[in-house]
């Protein structure tokens, strides 16, 4: 007697969990197998953008390493190499010279570090600018609501180190102002939904648009077919509306009038295990001191944690996300880092610059 299932991860969506539930007349929130291809195949997504003139980086597709390396010999660097399929957020490599590019192609296509996901690759131009994300709640035809956020992918301060699943985020994104919103809807979201519909791939759920604002304008970097992590932890506290009502309106194609815009600001800081995103430690005892309960406007989201012998311990790379909510960025940021001080475990690591220099991001 489950009334509603909300799908979080991308793999069940790509395998058709929504199709299975709908076949059995069960309410589920997320795109079906065909529509979720917009995330599970980067080539599908890029071809859709090309056909419907959605702004994105110039690209080429390769299904063998020999031709890919031949193309790279005459390419200008920096350049981006992407595995076609799902790779747990690790399938995008930014390479600065031919040697790095050759190694990347060899690893993806011949050594198959991403398995079947790397049988085909995309090589595309590198775009320089400020990244942000827009989350579109849709019934497949209409936009019911939009939320925005910025996240931090690099492991270390000053955006250094390897890519991760996300070390922190804040919402809303300053780039998502009124003029940019109109452009994004007209040039990106509307044609994306139209393109999927024309392929009979109607997208019902949350369409995550990973965008970048450059000196040439706003471009699509990628699509996801779900709410992101750690962005969800900051966008939902800024949603001034009942989430369940919004989701049911998407499922049942019921219009919603006047959902308020994001006004308050949320900042999220991810606490990780030592070594993440590489080989990391687990099984460390976690203690959250009583001061946490004294901090107003605070949330602590669990991720890589579990109870063992009545003790909370670490069980993954990303352990917890501390989220502070405030009227301005500095207030929210201060609360988030106050929360991190109440959490203790051996070799705790986090970035110290999440949402710092907010003005520079405008």
Mean pLDDT of the residues in the chain: 95
Q: Do 141 and 235 belong to one domain? A: yes
Q: Do 272 and 331 belong to one domain? A: yes
- Say which residue the tokens 């929130």 belong to: 29
pLDDT at residue number 358: 67
pLDDT exceeds cutoff 60 at 359: no
Q: Do 207 and 136 belong to one domain? A: yes
Distances in Å between the Cα of 115 and the Cα atoms of 63, 120, 278, 336 are 14, 11, 18, 38
User: Over the stretch 2-29, which tens digit does the pLDDT of each residue have?
Assistant: 999 999 999 999 999 999 999 999 999 9
Domain that holds residue 118: 58-125
Confidence of residue 362 (pLDDT cuts 50, 70, 90): very low
Is 355 among the domain residues?
yes
More confident residue, 56 or 228: 56
User: Over the stretch 36-84, which tens digit does the pLDDT of each residue have?
Assistant: 999 999 999 999 999 999 999 999 999 999 999 999 999 999 999 999 9
More confident residue, 228 or 272: 272
More confident residue, 90 or 272: 272
pLDDT exceeds cutoff 50 at 207: yes
pLDDT exceeds cutoff 60 at 298: yes
Is 46 among the domain residues?
no
pLDDT exceeds cutoff 80 at 360: no
Domain count of the fold of the chain? 3
Could you tell me if 251 and 27 are in contact, meaning their C-beta atoms sit under 8 angstroms apart? yes
Q: What is the average per-residue pLDDT within 217-232?
A: 94
Q: Do 110 and 159 belong to one domain? A: no
CB atoms within 10 A of CB 53: 10
Residue 212 in tokens:
């970048």
From 81-90, 141-150, 300-309, the region with the lowest mean pLDDT: 81-90
- Closest-CA residue to 26 (of 15, 35, 36, 17): 17
Q: Do 215 and 286 belong to one domain? A: no
Q: 3-class DSSP state for residue 268?
A: strand
pLDDT over 70 percentage in the chain:
99
Q: Which of residues 101, 125, 149 is at a domain's end?
A: 125
| CATH classification of the domain holding 164 | 3.30.470.20
User: Over the stretch 136-194, which tens digit does the pLDDT of each residue have?
Assistant: 999 999 999 999 999 999 999 999 998 888 999 999 999 999 999 999 999 999 999 99
pLDDT at residue number 345: 98
Is 260 among the domain residues?
no
324/166 Cα distance (integer angstroms): 17
Q: What is the average per-residue pLDDT within 200-218?
A: 95
Q: Which residues pair with 169 in a beta bridge?
A: 151, 268
pLDDT exceeds cutoff 60 at 234: yes
């Amino acid at each position: 007697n489950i009334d509603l299932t909300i799908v979080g991860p991308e793999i069940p969506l790509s395998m058709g969990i929504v199709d299975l539930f709908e076949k059995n007349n069960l309410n589920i929130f997320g795109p079906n197998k065909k529509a979720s291809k917009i995330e599970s195949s980067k080539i599908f997504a890029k071809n859709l953008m090309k056909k419907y003139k959605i702004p994105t980086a110039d690209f080429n597709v390769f299904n063998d390493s020999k031709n890919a390396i031949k193309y790279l010999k005459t390419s200008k660097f920096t350049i981006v190499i992407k595995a076609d399929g799902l790779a747990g957020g690790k399938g995008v490599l930014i390479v600065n010279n031919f040697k790095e590019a050759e190694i990347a192609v060899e690893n993806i296509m011949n050594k198959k570090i991403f398995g079947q996901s790397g049988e085909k690759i995309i090589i595309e131009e590198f775009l320089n600018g400020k990244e942000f994300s827009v989350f579109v709640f849709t019934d497949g035809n209409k936009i019911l609501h939009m939320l925005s956020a910025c996240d931090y992918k690099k492991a270390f301060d000053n955006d250094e180190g390897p890519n991760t699943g996300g070390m922190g985020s804040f919402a809303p994104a300053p780039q998502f102002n009124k003029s940019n919103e109109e452009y994004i809807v007209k040039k990106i979201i509307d044609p994306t939904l139209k393109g999927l519909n024309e392929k009979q791939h109607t997208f019902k759920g949350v369409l995550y648009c990973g965008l970048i604002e450059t000196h040439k304008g706003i471009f699509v970097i990628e699509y996801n077919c779900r709410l992101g992590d750690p962005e969800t932890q900051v966008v939902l506290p800024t949603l001034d509306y009942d989430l369940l009502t919004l989701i049911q309106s998407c499922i049942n194609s019921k219009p919603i009038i006047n959902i308020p815009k994001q006004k308050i600001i949320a900042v999220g800081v991810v606490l990780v295990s030592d070594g993440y995103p590489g080989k990391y430690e687990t099984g460390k005892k976690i203690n959250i001191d009583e001061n946490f309960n004294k901090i107003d406007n605070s949330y602590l989201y669990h991720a890589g944690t579990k109870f063992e012998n009545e003790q909370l311990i670490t069980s993954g790379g990303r352990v917890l996300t501390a989220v502070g909510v405030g009227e301005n960025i500095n207030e929210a940021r201060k609360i988030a880092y106050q929360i991190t001080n109440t959490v203790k475990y051996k070799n705790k690591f986090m970035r110290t610059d999440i949402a710092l220099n907010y003005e520079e991001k405008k």
